Amino acid sequence: MTGAAPLVLVYSSNARHRAEIVAALGSRPAPDRPPIRVLEAATAPTVVARLDEGGVGLVVLDGESSPAGGIGLARQLRDEIEPCPPLLVVTARRADGWLARWSQADGWVSHPLDPFELAAAASRLLAPAAP
């Protein structure tokens, strides 16, 4: 498998949640995809600053972060960052999927995290666009 390792930005104000997301993603979300590089962010301003630099292939946002929640941040990023990379929101409950849709996220998963579900969602969002 060839190709550059895409950069995945993981945002959560909770270090334990970031570690859980990073562990669930693994180093290669799918066997037919290149390995990923992960960068962690604990604050919303750090996320915005990193996206302004470019080169991020996917942003995974913890919906339960505070003071800036990942759901609201997803909506802000969609409105303010051009081009905005794909956004994947982690919600507290499966029933909160409507909030992820409101945020204009490209995908969502819920707690408790299923590593297979998270990896599949990340792989799907990291897939190159069809010509």
Angle ∠(89,92,97) on CA atoms, nearest 5: 55
Task: Find the farthest-apart pair of alpha carbons in the chain and give their distance in angstroms, rounded.
Answer: 40
Picking from 21, 36, 34, 28, the residue whose alpha carbon sits closest to that of residue 118 is: 21
Full pLDDT tens readout for the chain, 131 residues: 456 789 999 999 999 999 999 999 999 988 888 899 999 999 999 999 999 999 999 999 999 999 999 999 999 999 999 999 999 999 999 888 899 999 999 999 999 999 999 999 999 999 764 33
Helix (H) or strand (E) holding 59: strand 56-62
Instruction: Please give the backbone phi and psi of residue 58, each rounded to the nearest 5 degrees, phi first.
Output: -160, 140
Go through the domains of the chain in sequence order and give each one's CATH number. 10-126 (3.40.50.2300)
